[in-house]
Structure 1
Amino acid sequence: MEKQTKSGVIYGDQNFLVPPHLNVGAFILQQILAHNSEQPALINGATGEQITFGEMAQKIVNISSSLSRLGVQQGDVVAICSENRIEFLLTTFAVFHCGAIVTFFNNAYTKAELIHALNISKPKYLFISGEVYKAQYEVIENTKLIKKYVVYDEVPLRSNSIHFRDLVERKVDINSCKYFDFKGTPHTAMILYSSGTTGLAKGAKLSHLNLIVSGLQPMITDRNLTPLMIAPWSSTMGIILIMKEMSYGRTCVYLSKYNEELFLQTIQKYKIGVLVVAPPLIVMFCKSTLVNKYDVSSVELIYSGGAPVTSEVIDQLKTRFPHMLVIQGYGMTEGTGGVTQDSDKAPKQGSVGKVLPGFIIKVVNPDTNKTLGCGEPGEIRIKGLAVFQGYVGKDLQDIVDDEGYYKTGDIAYYDEDGYFYIVDRIKELIKYKGWQVTPTELETVILQHPAVKDAGVTGAPDTLAGELPTAFVVKQPGAKVIEQDIIDFVANKVAPWKKLRGGVLFVDEIPKTPSGKILRRKLQELLSKQSPQKLPASKL
């Protein structure tokens, strides 16, 4: 049971029955085999392609056996660089099963980002979509890391490459296929890259135990609703949530990329009941005119993660779609996905819920390390069975405190019922003349303006004030709005120190991670490219 100690430390349920082999691939396969073999496991919402749980189980063991024949050994790193597709998950589960380590490269990575990730995890084998293979082969090959390429699509191959179908076609007896037994000792299963919102991404090592614990945590809802997944499976939110849904035997509809009309068509076609989305898509539901063309009445629940959604945005959604319930979770790569999660049974609007099983949380003053109590904002620090093993090539000493808690860098508080509320990230807080300004609060206010489609806020350096709150705004199509309109709109709704003294810059899009977090370092880069004459003068 969840409890709170007098010291202000909050516990999630720590009782877990984990298999002694500690192989998450064997754990997932066992879960899949427990479900109706004829039931669809995955459906591509764009093409209608699907796979049943029975077919999935058979292909996992086929691929696992083929990997062993290729020479993949325990501890080898196997990478996947592809859009969301059925082969992506089959590969992931098979890599786990045979004892190797899986890592993912987003198929939209730039050349520099791809090279950076390759040099972190140093994979020997790479599963890759035909499109990326054709576009990035030379870049990848120049790193001299990859021993063998496995290509998902039917494209002309180089000598060091094979087709994915060659690994799948050789059928193996499920009962005779051996998984790698770690004999109760945690080993690395996955390397995920932190979102890099404030700098270059780091490679976070997640163990088989981490992933099993995550898979045993409660689902978003126990209602019989079909979920739609659109987050890239190369992201933490995407891969962890789809793995959990698979473990619980739920048919999942997915899309390989986001397109507003396709997204809405898929909801209507498959009568989607649960949307798993980042906050920008909730804003889309609030403001889109295209939504009116489609029947979205089947959507009962929206689960949001990646960044906080304020009560104001939720109120806007409820005004337009009273039947939709928004629940939030809070998590990170270093916590193997979710750390807290709200419930659709007793939700608290604006909250990210209670501590999930497998975690212990304390909230501290980051300057004094003093543990804080109910209602006192401070840094969230976590430890427990689902907390990661550390970063590739990095010393843990700098990221944990004296008691072994991981320092998340996120500011939050909890209420008397143990519900948590996210304020912002320490590094993203704007410091104006000694005052702290949270970018997300200002973004919420700006998004209330009818001419605004999207917004991001950061601090512009200022010699007198420290930083000036500055907004980047994407206009609604055809909207006529000028900088002063936004400045005045915000000034009438916030305290004096929160005004947009850094001005407003209009842009075509707000840079974000695949999971929907605003890349404030990119906003800072955009600011640095503005000439001094174009930057607003400080109005102190």
Structure 2
Amino acid sequence: MFRLLRPILDNKLRPAGVFRELRTTQSISHLNTQVGYERNIIESRYGPVNIPKMCLTDYIFEECEKVADKPALSCGSSKRSYNYGMLYEMTRRMARALLSQKGCAMRKKEVVGILLPNIPEYVPALHGSLLAGLVVTFANPLYTPEEICRQFENADVRLVITLPVLLPVAQVYRSKAKKYKGTVCIGGKHNLDENVFGFEQLLREDHRSELPEIDPEDTAILPYSSGTTGMPKGVELSHNNLVANLAQGSHPEMNKYYRPEFAGYTETVLTIPPFFHIYGLNGILNVSLKTRNHLVSIPRFIPEDYLQCLVEFRPKLLFVVPSLMLFLATHPKVTPDHLSSVESVLVGAAAASIQLQDKFKQKCGKDVDITQGYGMTESSPVTLCTPYKYDLSKVGTCGQLYPNTQAKIVSLTDGSNLGPHQTGELYLRGPQVMKGYLNNVKATSETLDSEGWLHTGDVAYYDSDGFFYIVDRTKELIKVKGNQVSPTELENLILELPEVSDVAVAGIADETSGELPRAYVVLKPDKTLDSAVIVNHVKERVVKYKQLAGGVMFVKEIPRNAGGKVLRHQLHLLGAQLDD
């Protein structure tokens, strides 16, 4: 089995008298103090960019006929490759097939579930569905059938697009879903008795359905995120949210491919972050397609395959997560020659320390541009990013505000808006912010307030030049190699064991993974339980990165506040004491 970013908010959406901008074109040095205006609202120093009101797929592929012969996507393992003309033709054929194929014809706004690793066919699977007016959710192909079914049931998936090796998982979901229509199998053939449709056969058939008009405010994708707390939830991102984030990233200070000197320039880009993750999807795949670069990826990370891609394709740009950067910087098999073509690196999903960046540059044997950013699934994902060229003295920054984006730092004690160099929770607002969580008004209201501010759950500050720094988390989310892990999900699994009275899961620091999940368990009176039983119980039910690699600790009680909420900072202190 495979392993593995609208002009500033329209005035009609701005609550009258709620805020006054804090200009950051040169520096942040003063506030507008007119009565009735909210203080300390930080605006992007880059001003607004134009955001077209378009379907995401139309936006990405507009005028692609001009670059029809340019390579678009290649699989570094199988060497399958498609140019822009072929990729767009496949996408349009897929859209028509999904709407008209007898036995599985989909209706506008129904949900498609994509269960695929990084392969070139991900694009027609995704964008064909979107062009047909459908909604797409995607799952990690390494998830257990239980995890996949839970997500697909919540999203009400009617059709799954997958591979032959994953067909049994799709069939498990089919047996549970009441309104399931069929499965599209990339690399497989029609099996009409099982409502399985071969991808290549579908594209070769003559489907003539007219493609629907798509409202840019319609939901396009449903990635799943734990937000700041709780179980994973479907994040409703509209076509406009996703187009906005791509357009925001087109500012020439942020993206060199929109600079005059790079007009018409095509680079080879090597990536490994999965397309089923919002960073891999809208932060890499869609960005690369829109900038007409040649994107190379592999279905699963095998060091030898990745190194071979470095040698064979000689990429100038790498998209990485910190764990991959650590591998490249420290593994003895990675030589300076492997990285000799690399000119720039974009780090996403989690922050790369300055020490790690220095190690990577030492391995390269030359200066390499390293860009970092900050985002969430709930913001499509990018809200902060370091510019294409910036002051390297800004050690530890995750960047400046994207165009058309606002921020404020809110005091954790009194809720007031804070000024430069004061630490509080980061709130963000902009056209890339989600519509809300699917069928979950309570969770939406806890994360997205009535004035449109996204409460990130991250503790941050900004300096006098508008560079932001993340210093801590208020949220419960554990990040393992950039992947989100919900403590609640793991706690619910552990509570299935009859010997367990109470449990809390929290992340512990790890150099390679960033964090690892650790369980703190309270047993019922007179009960005994081996930690291995707990570890194995979880291991059988979740993907590898969610497993209890941080171990299990038995404690007398779980620290909670008066409302019963777990005090996770006290868990960290307790864990440190027990480790000693």
What TM-score results when the alignment is normalised by the length of structure 2?
0.73
Alignment correspondent of 1:456: 515
Match of 1:78 among 112, 117, 121: 112
Kindly indicate whether residue 184 of structure 2 is the aligned counterpart of residue 150 of structure 1. yes
Q: Which residue of 2 aligns with 1:363?
A: 409
SS at match of 1:206: strand
Q: What residue is the counterpart of 2:307 in the other structure?
A: 264
8 A Cα contact 1:214 1:244, kept in partner? no
Q: Does 1:354 align with 2:379?
A: no
Contact 2:188/2:199 (CA < 8 Å) preserved in 1? no
Shift of 1:263: 1.1
2:76 pairs with 22, 45, 55, which one? 45
Q: Using the alignment, how far apart are the partners of 2:125 and 2:372 within structure 1?
A: 30
Match of 1:93 in 2: 127
Give the match's secondary structure for 1:366: coil
Whole-angstrom CA distance in 2 between matches of 1:529 and 1:134: 38
Of 548, 552, 575 in structure 2, the residue corresponding to residue 527 of structure 1 is: 552
Task: Report SS of the residue matched to 2:341.
Answer: coil
- 1:162 corresponds in structure 2 to 197
Q: Write the mapping of 1:174-253 to structure 2, written as runs, cut at 5 A.
A: 179-182=211-214, 186-194=217-225, 199-218=230-249, 220-222=255-257, 225-240=267-282, 241-253=284-296
Cα offset, 1:209, TM superposition: 0.5
Report the CA distance shift for 1:277/1:204 in structure 2 as closer, same or farther (over 3 A): same
Name the counterpart of 2:5.
Answer: none
Q: 1:313 to 1:388 in 2, by over 3 A?
A: same
Distance 2:164 2:73 in 1: 21
Give matches, 1:323-402, under 5 Å.
323-348=367-392, 349-395=395-441, 396-401=444-449
Deviation at 1:179, TM superposition (A): 4.1
- CA drift of 1:374 comes to 1.0
Aligned residues: 465
Q: Which of the pair has the greater relative contact order for Cα pairs under 8 Å at 6+ separation?
A: 2
Q: Distance in 2 between matches of 1:539 and 1:161?
A: 52
* Partner AA of 1:227 in structure 2: V
Please, which moves more after superposition, 360-369 or 186-195?
A: 360-369
Q: Which amino acid aligns with 2:448?
A: V
Residue equivalent to 2:175: 141
Paired with 1:537 and 1:60, the residues of 2 have a C-alpha distance of 56
1:64 Cα offset (Å): 1.3
Offset at 1:83? 1.2
What CA deviation, in whole Å up to 9, does each residue of 1:493-515 have, x standing for no partner? xxxxxxxxxxxxxxxxx9xx99x
Q: 1:539 & 1:49 partners in 2: Cα distance?
A: 49
Contact 2:116 2:162 (C-alpha < 8 Å) held by counterparts: yes
Which residue does 2:533 correspond to in 1?
Answer: none
Aligned to 1:413: 461
Partner Cα distance (2:281, 2:554) in 1 = 35
**Aligned equivalents of 1:205, 1:243: Cα separation in 2:** 18
Structure 2 counterpart SS, 1:374: coil
CA contact (8 A) 2:137 2:222 kept: yes
- The whole-number CA distance in structure 1 between the counterparts of 2:23 and 2:414 is 25
The answer to whether the 8 A contact 1:428-1:458 is kept is: no
Query: Against the structure 1 CA distance between its residues 127 and 457, is the aligned structure 2 distance closer, same or farther, given a 3 Å change threshold?
Result: closer
Letter in 2 for 1:235: H
1:25 is the counterpart of 2:57: yes
2:150 counterpart residue number: 116
Matched with 2:347 is 304
Query: Paired residue for 1:9?
Result: 41
Structure 2 CA distance for partners of 1:536 and 1:169, relative to 1, 3 Å = same
SS in 1 for 2:452: coil
Show the counterpart of 2:16: none
How far 1:367 moved relative to its partner? 3.7
Q: Which residues of 2 match residues 435-514 of structure 1 at below 5 A?
A: 443=510, 447=511, 456=515
Is 2:188–2:197's contact at 8 Å kept on the other side of the alignment?
no
Partner AA of 1:105 in structure 2: A
Alignment-mate amino acid for residue 326 of structure 1: I
Distance, in Å, in 2 between the alignment partners of 1:107 and 1:226 is 26
One-letter amino acid of the structure 1 residue matched with residue 453 of structure 2: Y
Q: Which residue of the partner structure matches residue 451 of structure 2?
A: 403
Amino acid at match of 1:126: V
Taking the aligned partners of 1:248 and 1:207, their CA distance within structure 2 comes to: 21
Aligned to 1:284: 327
Q: What corresponds to 2:297 in structure 1? A: 254
Asked if the contact 1:154–1:163 (Cα under 8 Å) also holds between the matched residues in 2, the reply is yes
For 2:564, the equivalent position in structure 1 comes to none
1:84-132 deviations in whole A, cap 9, x for unaligned? 1122111211111121111112111112211211122111111111111
CA contact (8 A) 1:439 1:457 kept: yes
Structure 1, unmatched stretches of 5+, are: 431-437, 448-452, 464-509
Residue type of the alignment partner of 2:470: I
CA RMSD of aligned residues (A): 3.4
CA distance in 2, matches of 1:370, 1:141: 52
- SS in structure 1 opposite 2:323? helix
Residues 459, 79 of structure 1: CA spacing in aligned structure 2 closer, same or farther, 3 A cutoff? closer
Partners of 1:360 and 1:230 in 2: how far apart? 30
Identity across the alignment (%): 24
Q: Deviations over 1:134-169 (max 9, x none)?
A: 355234422334211111122673521111123211
TM-score by length of structure 1 reads 0.78
Other-structure match for 2:561: none
Shift of 1:454: 5.6
Give the 3-state SS of the residue equivalent to 1:205 in structure 2.
Answer: strand
Q: Which SS does the other structure have where 1:124 is aligned?
A: strand
8 Å Cα contact 1:31/1:249 also seen in 2: no
Q: After TM superposition, give the deviation of residue 50 of structure 1 in Å.
A: 0.4
Distance 1:202 1:318, change over 3 A: same
Q: Is the Cα–Cα contact under 8 Å of residues 23 and 99 in structure 1 kept in the other structure?
A: no
